Amino acid sequence: MAMGDAHFSSGRRSRRVVVTVVVFFFFWGLISLSCAARLPISKQKFQVQKHLNRLNKPALKTIQSPDGDIIDCVHISQQPAFDHPFLKDHKIQMRPSYHPEGLYDVFENKVSTENNDGTNAITQLWHVNGRCPEDTIPIRRTKEEEVLRASSVKRYGKKQHRSFPQPRSADPDLINQSGHQHAIAYVEGDKYYGAKATLNVWEPKIQQPNEFSLSQIWILGGSFGEDLNSIEAGWQVSPDLYGDNNTRLFTYWTSDAYQTTGCYNLLCSGFVQINNEIAMGASIFPTSAYGSSQYDISLLVWKDQKEGNWWMQFGNEYVLGYWPAFLFSYLADSASMIEWGGEVVNSASDGQHTTTQMGSGHFPEEGFGKASYFRNILIVDGSNNLRAPKDVGTFTEQSNCYDVQIGNNGDWGNYFYYGGPGRNPNCP
C-alpha cells in the first residue's frame, strides 16, 4: 500500500471514530434530556398526589352531584382546618356566642324557599342526590386536573396578588397590572364587626378559562399593602378553579394581601365548618334569568365579640362555620372597610377588553330582572346591631365596561345595581 493510501485510510478511520463519538454523545444527550424532562413531571405528579391526599379526607358517605362534582361527607373532626398546627387541640365552637341583633334566632327557625318579596331562595345542586349525616361536613372533592391547572401546587386555590378593589387608588398602572376590575359599593372610616346583604345569582359568560367573574362581600382590615386582611364570601364562575362554568358558592380569606396565606373554600387549613348542609365551592341552583325569575342568596359575616372568631351564615338558616381570630392581625379586632359588589379578571391578551360579564352582563340602569343587585346591605356595629351603613361610596375602574348605581327604598333599604358586559362599543 502506498504511503498516500495508508494516510487516506487512517484519515477515514479517524473520521469514523469522531463520528461515532459525536453520535454517542448526541444520543446520550437526548437520553439525558429525556430523563431531565421526566424527573420534574414525576416530581410534580408526586406533589399533586400528596396535596390531593391532604385535601381529600376519608369520607363516611359520598354523594355524586348532577353537575359532576363529588361531595364527600367527612367527619367534622377530620376537616382540612385541623391540619393547621394552631388548631391541633382546638375545641370546635358549635355555635356563636352572639348573633347580630335584628335577626331571629337561626337555630330555632326555618325559612321557606320563597322570599317575602317574590324573589326565590336557592339550594345547592348536590342536594338532589342526598344529604350528609350529622357530625359530618360536605366537602367538594378536589380533582387532579384542577390542581394541575394551577401555576403551581403551592398556588392552587389562591387568588392572584392585588385582586382587591382600591376605592382610594388613583394609580392606573396598578389597576392595569392587576388585571382585576370591580364595580362596588363600600363604607370606611369606622370600626365594623360584620356585614350582610342579599344578592341575586347569575351565570355570567367567561371569555377565557383563566378569567373569572364573582359577586361578593369583602370584610377588610389593614392597608392595601402587603399586610391586608380580608374575609370574602359570595358566588363565582371560575373555569380555571373548578373546570366548568357553573355558578358556585365560595369563601376566601387572606392575612397578607393574597401572597401566601389563605385560600378559596376549604382548600387550605383555616376555616372551621360546622354545618352539614352546605358545601363550599359547590354549585348553587337555579340562577336568575334575564327578564324572568330572579333567585338570590343572603350572606352574613360577623365577629363573635366574645370568642373573637368571624362567623359566616348562608341564607337565614345555615350558620356555616368560622374563621378563628388567630388567622388575622388587623381583623383580630375589627374591620376598617366593608365592600359589596362584583369583580372580574380582564386578561386582555389580544389588546382588547375581555367580554367576560360581571353579574348579569347588563348595566345597572336596566334595573330589576335584568341587572344584578345587592339589596338590604347592612353592617354590624360595635354593639352587635345590624344597621344601615352611612356614607356609602361607589367605585369602578372603567364605568363604560362595568358600572354601579346606588339607591334606597323601604323594601330594599340600601341597595345598588351593578355589572356590565365588558367589551362593547364604549369599552373597546
Residue 1 clears pLDDT 90, i.e. is over it:
no
Catalytic residue selected from 343, 365, 366, 397: 343
Sign of the Cα torsion 347, 257, 224, 199 reads positive
Q: Per-residue pLDDT tens for 255-284? A: 999 999 999 999 999 999 999 999 999 999
Answer yes or no: is pLDDT of 41 > 80: no
Active site residue 232: yes
Instruction: Say if residue 168 is exposed, middle or buried (CB neighbours under 10 Å; 0-12, 13-18, 19+).
Output: exposed
Check pLDDT > 60 for residue 88. yes
Whether 36 has a pLDDT exceeding 50, the answer reads no
Q: Which pLDDT score, from 0 to 100, does residue 340 have? A: 98
The Cα–Cα gap between 131 and 278 comes to 9
In order, the DSSP letters of 208-241 are STT--EEEEEEEEES-SSTT-EEEEEEEEE-HHH
Residue 225's pLDDT is what?
Answer: 77
Catalytic residue among 146, 203, 211, 232: 232
Q: Identify the CA nearest to 371 among candidates 314, 305, 288, 303.
A: 288
Lowest mean per-residue pLDDT among 62-71, 87-96, 154-163, 399-408: 154-163
pLDDT band of 116, cuts 50, 70, 90: very low
Calculate the average pLDDT of the chain: 86
Q: Where are the domains of the chain?
A: 54-159+171-419
Residue type at position 34: S
Question: Whole-model pTM?
Answer: 0.85
**Cα distance between residue 360 and residue 369, in whole Å:** 9
Is the model's pLDDT at 219 over the cut of 50?
yes
Q: Give the mean model confidence (pLDDT) for residues 24-51.
A: 59
Q: Is residue 121 scored above 90 in pLDDT?
A: no
Please check whether residue 11 is in contact with residue 19, taking contact to mean a CB–CB distance below 8 angstroms.
Answer: no
What CA–CA distance (Å, rounded) separates 342 from 346?
13
Count, in order, helices (H) and strands (E) of the chain. Answer: 4, 20
SS3 50: helix
Q: Give yes or no for residue 373 having a pLDDT over 80.
A: yes
Q: Is the pLDDT of residue 159 over 90?
A: no
- Average pLDDT, integer, range 418-422: 98
Taking residues 150-154, what's their average pLDDT?
90
Rounded to whole angstroms, the Cα distance separating 38 from 296 reads 49
236: its cell numbers: 363565582
Q: Is 343 a catalytic residue?
A: yes
> What's the average model confidence in pLDDT over 56-83?
97
